Amino acid sequence: MTEHNEIHTATIEENPAPHQEAGGGSLLEIDGTLIFIAASFVLFTIIMQRVFYGPLKQIRETRDQHINGLKHAGEQLLSEAERLNTEYTEKIKTARKKASDNTTAVISDANQEKAKILGERKQQVSEFLNIERLQIKEEKAKSMQELTPHINTYASDICRKILDEDILLAIGENNERNR
Determine how many CB atoms are found less than 10 A away from the CB of residue 40.
Answer: 10
Each residue of 129-168: pLDDT tens digit? 999 999 999 998 988 888 888 888 887 888 888 887 666 6
pLDDT of the residue at 10: 46
Helix 170-178 to helix 151-163 angle (10° resolution) is 150
Which pLDDT tens digit goes with each residue over 60-110? 999 999 999 999 999 999 999 999 999 999 999 999 999 999 999 999 999
Cα–Cα distance, 77 to 85 (Å, whole number): 12
